[in-house]
Structure 1
């Protein structure tokens, strides 16, 4: 299989990772069941989600640094194992601190790693179709509740919330192992067939270093816009 064909497999693997990340969107299903099962205060249970999001965001910076030093397949496998383990071990959490340690921290860190490395890897394979690559990754994240919401409801209703965490963790682990085998960076200086690297005024092809990026006011504006836009949706989900 040639490089041009391989990139579609990479995109499919990246989409799979992002579909797993989208499982956080069904948190409200687990939240209500956890509160009723263990009698935890709503505020304490809800904080597990907030801590998850914070862990995910912080892990994004770590993933950005690591992906220049590790192969995407290995990094995504490590992050994915943390993500899957967080969900699996959350099934043993019979106290709030354990829920924070497993679901919130382990799961959140793993989610942040696999989201960032999968999106950046997919985009690197599609310099000629950046919008498509990002659209597939973001779209699979948003559409994943179509699968995980009914699955979560079924599992909780039939097996209870603890076993549901276990089963979800196992499903995520299988998906992570399979997808990580196909997530690879493009060869150095590779370009798509029949595509000529042109002058793109809106995108700097060579990119910026971290220090160069931090000196750009645009970077802080983008962070602010993203934070404002994302926070509304995340509050509704939580």
Structure 2
């Protein structure tokens, strides 16, 4: 029997492969200037491609979560690969016919649907394979999404110079399609009743604190307060994080006096901390618990956002931004494990999909809000203070959810005792 059980670390590696592919969406800005220069398209026109892709990521994750649970990660991963791969190949065609609208449909809509399905398919499976290390497993895969741009950006830049924009899309489409199909082919949920070696003994040592508090369907979960607490915490963390990413370079130049070149370097290193935060915070959550990690995120960021407007020392300013980016990445990576803790693994993919609508909403709100506030006030100071206030709300929510968890634990104890 044990010979037939798949290797869970290989399953994790396949999850990383899928996320490294779809995470290339974070390299979209590399296409921006070449598209503007070659076709005379406006900055906002080109930027809409990315916004549409993130919007459809959230929508696809929400609507296809049930499909992932019903048909399994292998079939879901293959469908994600086809949508994402065809979206990229279609983007090459859109460039050849010089149609920005067609690019919205191919990269934004088709690619975005592939992003959403590809994002949740391996994550929900990994939570089931790693009941003992949920944070580590989901952190590994989602780290791939965060790190992808570090690999993809220089490759895309070189390819544009070598084969042009359309040629780059064609090559990326073929390569990512192959990686995602290969990775998806090995994905599978664990056999019914499977537990990793030594799991029961470790659970006893940890006083069963990492046991699932309930086993709910996605629709049942969405009717609970704790679901909406999670949604709001992710929304605030992502809104403020995406906003910082979108204005990091000009803000660093304005507040800390960085040169354009130094600010560009800082943006590159931000990607590294975004990725490291995903694996670091998610792994830490296995030891100190998901509630403590989220409370830490918000407490740290309240302090940093209050201090940022007066942090004129360039090294301190950059360090603050790097810590914020680690919390931003950590929020994404810890949420699937938190969902597993609170709602069980019965329909984890579907619940994760519902929660990711917070990402879609934040992707639209964050950059627009920070740009509007900057233009209205001619300063980033008020923006940063508003974000600090938002994190105060998130901190309160992270404390309220603990009360819900405590009540649920108490109910479970009473049920076991009776």
CA distance in 2, matches of 1:64, 1:157: 39
Please tell me the root mean square deviation across aligned C-alpha atoms, in Å: 1.9
CA distance in 2, matches of 1:86, 1:188: 36
CA distance in 2, matches of 1:4, 1:146: 34
Structure number with higher helix proportion: 2
- Identify the residue that residue 78 of structure 1 maps to in structure 2: 79
> Could you say what secondary structure the match of 2:114 adopts?
helix
CA distance in 2, matches of 1:3, 1:21: 30
- Identify the residue that residue 105 of structure 1 maps to in structure 2: 109
2:215 matches 1:207: yes
CA distance in 2, matches of 1:154, 1:232: 32
- Point out where structure 2 has 5 or more consecutive residues left out of the alignment: 247-366, 368-418
CA distance in 1, matches of 2:142, 2:89: 25
The residue correspondences of 1:31-50 to structure 2 (distance < 5 A) are 31-50=32-51
CA distance in 1, matches of 2:242, 2:121: 21
- Indicate which of 172, 193, 196 corresponds to 1:168: 172
- Identify the residue that residue 142 of structure 2 maps to in structure 1: 138
Residue 179 of structure 1 and its aligned partner are, at CA, apart by 0.4
Which stretch of the first structure deviates more once superposed, 206-215 or 45-54?
206-215
CA distance in 2, matches of 1:32, 1:2: 52
The residue correspondences of 1:178-217 to structure 2 (distance < 5 A) are 178-196=182-200, 200-201=208-209, 204=212, 206-217=214-225
Give the total of aligned pairs. 238
- Indicate which of 159, 162, 168 corresponds to 1:158: 162
CA distance in 2, matches of 1:52, 1:32: 18
Residue 202 of structure 1 and its aligned partner are, at CA, apart by 5.9
Q: How big is each residue's C-alpha offset from its partner over 1:125-176, in whole Å with a ceiling of 9 and x where there is no partner?
A: 0001111101101211111122111101100112111111111111101101
> Do the aligned residues in 2 keep the contact of 1:123 with 1:134 (CA within 8 Å)?
yes
- Indicate which of 112, 116, 120 corresponds to 2:120: 116
CA distance in 1, matches of 2:112, 2:189: 24
CA distance in 2, matches of 1:144, 1:20: 7
Residue 54 of structure 1 and its aligned partner are, at CA, apart by 0.5
> Do the aligned residues in 2 keep the contact of 1:17 with 1:179 (CA within 8 Å)?
yes
Residue 49 of structure 1 and its aligned partner are, at CA, apart by 0.8
CA distance 1:21–1:186, shift in 2 (3 Å): same
- Point out where structure 1 has 5 or more consecutive residues left out of the alignment: none
> Do the aligned residues in 2 keep the contact of 1:91 with 1:165 (CA within 8 Å)?
yes
> Could you say what secondary structure the match of 1:188 adopts?
coil
Q: State the TM-score, normalizing by the size of structure 2.
A: 0.54
> Do the aligned residues in 1 keep the contact of 2:84 with 2:112 (CA within 8 Å)?
yes
Which stretch of the first structure deviates more once superposed, 158-167 or 203-212?
203-212
> Could you say what secondary structure the match of 2:118 adopts?
helix
Larger Rg: 2
> Do the aligned residues in 1 keep the contact of 2:28 with 2:50 (CA within 8 Å)?
yes
2:130 matches 1:126: yes
CA distance in 2, matches of 1:202, 1:208: 16
CA distance in 2, matches of 1:186, 1:206: 20
CA distance 1:187–1:176, shift in 2 (3 Å): same
- Identify the residue that residue 60 of structure 1 maps to in structure 2: 61
CA distance in 1, matches of 2:241, 2:86: 26
CA distance 1:144–1:102, shift in 2 (3 Å): same
> Could you say what secondary structure the match of 1:192 adopts?
coil
